[in-house]
Structure 1
Amino acid sequence: MSMSDILALLREHLDVVIAIGSALVALVSAFVSRAETRRQRRLQTERLRQSIDAASLEWGNHAIDALGRAAMFARTRHLQANNGTFAAGKHSLMINLSALVERGRMFFPNLDADNKGMDKDGAYRGHRPPILDAIMWAYFELDALTRDGGPTGDNSADYIDDCRRLMVSELQAHLDPRRLDKIVERYDDQTHENRREAIDRANALKARLESRRPGLVLDTSQRPATPMETRQ
């Protein structure tokens, strides 16, 4: 078939050629539009991720500062002018730590919420994550701190520093982009090995706290509630 015959055939079936061309253009446009939609979604996800990272980092900065001040308070408790000044300073730090735990629940929800504490309010079902446990154990250590003598050892500040190190390690894991493949559930996406290690360390800190403070009740259901009580 010659070129002239081909051209004649195309002219004869011009409507078919136009329809096929239009279909191809529409198909290409659909693929381009789909790719652009995915790109926009990725950009929106990244913006949301950056926003959450910025908020959780701000929370972490406050937590680091609060734990640092608590450790320094423990180291310098003998320098307080009197028992009233000591009590006021201690209670101020405890209020701050308690508030940080509550605010931290916005970024680090309880673990295993479907299998524990179903009778509690939604935010308190399940197990508190290690990053918040670390702050809570420092809160209890501070609560037991005395100005002079008593069961308080000189290593109270060292214990609080250990709590701070666990909190910082968990925050770093939370913010590490190599470990984040989701936005909402990213903290719960840590590998089993890393999560187990963090839980073991938090439990070890709890055991040390219980050995340091015989008779200290950590379960609020077994003691009268206070304004700054811990919640699971």
Structure 2
Amino acid sequence: MNITEIIAFGSLLVSLLAFIYAFLTNSKRYELTSQYRREVLDWFSETTLILSTLRKVIYDKDGKEDKYKLLCKLSAQIEVGRFFFPNIDKGDGFGKEKPLAYQGYRNLVLDFLVYSHRLFKKEDAVRYRDHAKILQRYFTSYVFEIIEPKKFIKETKKHTKKTFNQELSFEDFISREPEIIEMYIRD
């Protein structure tokens, strides 16, 4: 083997190792992102269930104990949420006297929950049901923005070659399958 062949072989080996390294680190990054995303969605799911149940319970005259338990659960979800959405440090020293997790400004995602908690805690919480629903929609929208489902679907397709999104609306479905809708209208 002459020097040119050795250099060519070495270059090929380095290129192959670089490709393998890039693939493995990309796969690991995807795996870690997926795990984090799953944990946030589990937390989000539990929190949303609590909020939805609170909107129902406030109509129940005998539901004070249920309301209290749900408010405790919501408070716990806010505390857990601090690990996903830590306070914001604007560099102005705000809250420096507080314990570490509470220093700075509360993340907006958690503020929607804190204000929902305050509304549901009121004796006349039923008056604020629509307000709480709006706060929940913003909560969902900001988590949606952070989770980036469309980007995640693209990444999943890239790594698994599977598509989970057909980009099909209900209106599109009706135009393709009108007899299905007719069948339900007749019943």
**Counterparts in 2 of 1:24 and 1:113: CA distance versus 1, 3 Å:** same
**Structure 2 residue aligned with 1:37, among 21, 31, 40?**
21
Match of 1:128 among 106, 127, 148: 106
Q: Which amino acid aligns with 2:48?
A: I
Work out which of the residue numbers 44, 50, 55 in structure 1 matches 2:34.
50
Tell me whether 107-116 or 91-100 shows the greater mean CA deviation. 107-116
Amino acid at match of 1:119: E
Aligned-pair CA distance for 1:19: 2.4
Which structure shows the higher helix fraction? Answer: 2
User: Which of structure 1's runs of 4+ aligned residues deviate more than 6 A?
Assistant: none
1:22 aligns with 2:14: no
The Cα RMSD (Å) is 1.9
Cα deviation per residue 1:120-164 (whole Å; 9 max; x = unaligned)?
2222111111111111111111222x2xxxxx2643211211121
Q: Does the 8 Å contact 1:72/1:157 carry over to 2?
A: no
- After superposition, the C-alpha distances for 1:85-141 in whole angstroms (9 at most, x for unaligned) are 52x222211111110101111111111264322222222111111111111111111
With structure 1 as the length reference, what TM-score do the two structures score? 0.60
1:175 aligned to 2:147?
yes
1:104 matched residue in structure 2:
81
For the pair 1:90 / 2:67, whether they are aligned, the reply is yes
Are the structure 2 counterparts of residues 154 and 102 from structure 1 closer, same or farther at C-alpha, using a change threshold of 3 Å?
Answer: closer
| Residue segments in structure 2 that go unaligned for 5+ positions in a row | 153-187
> Does the CA-based 8 Å contact 2:119-2:125 persist in structure 1?
no
Q: Which has the larger radius of gyration?
A: 1
3-state SS, counterpart of residue 112 of structure 1: coil
Of 120, 128, 132, which residue of structure 2 is paired with 1:156?
128
Report percent identity of matched pairs: 19
Q: Which residue type is aligned with residue 160 of structure 1? A: A
Q: Distance in 2 between matches of 1:139 and 1:154?
A: 13
Q: Partner amino acid for 1:102?
A: E
Q: Which runs of 5+ in 1 are unaligned?
A: 1-16, 147-151, 181-232
